[in-house]
Amino acid sequence: MEVAKLGTRRNPNHPKALLALLSTSSVKEAAEMCRLSDRTLRNYLRDPEFKQAYDHERLRMFAEGVARLVQGATSAADVFLDQLTHSDPDIRIRAARSLWEFLSKGVETERKIKELEELERRITQLEEEREYGGY
């Protein structure tokens, strides 16, 4: 749902409230920013259409942030790997320990993703079989 559509369909204050909520760290700050009461913003957040738009925009913003971090992942990995050859043995040990922790988490995450993909494939297959009389 686009922010502009949200305001024209229901309430002209919705777009500025949405922008304020997404730009601040609390409802109180958002209320001050958009010059609406805390209570009004809390009521907006209970409105399913407004809440859906808010959640959608937050997720979009989060995805953009993650994409930005991914761009720096190679540089971060280079810095991290450089620490493995540092002259201070304590730094090398901490870097090696961190590397094992990150690798373990990465391998586990990858395994869970593959399991999830397999489950989704099986569900789709079962739904298709049911739909086309496979049972």
Specify the pTM. Answer: 0.56
Q: What pLDDT tens digit does each residue of the chain (135 aa) get?
A: 455 455 446 788 999 999 999 999 999 999 999 999 999 999 999 999 999 999 999 999 999 998 998 888 889 889 889 999 999 999 999 999 999 998 899 999 999 999 999 999 999 999 998 888 755
Among 129, 134, 13, 122, which Cα is nearest to 3's?
13
CB 15, CB 7: distance < 8 Å: yes
pLDDT score for 135 = 56
pLDDT score for 32 = 96
Q: How far is CA 62 from CA 58, 69, 98, in A?
A: 6, 11, 25
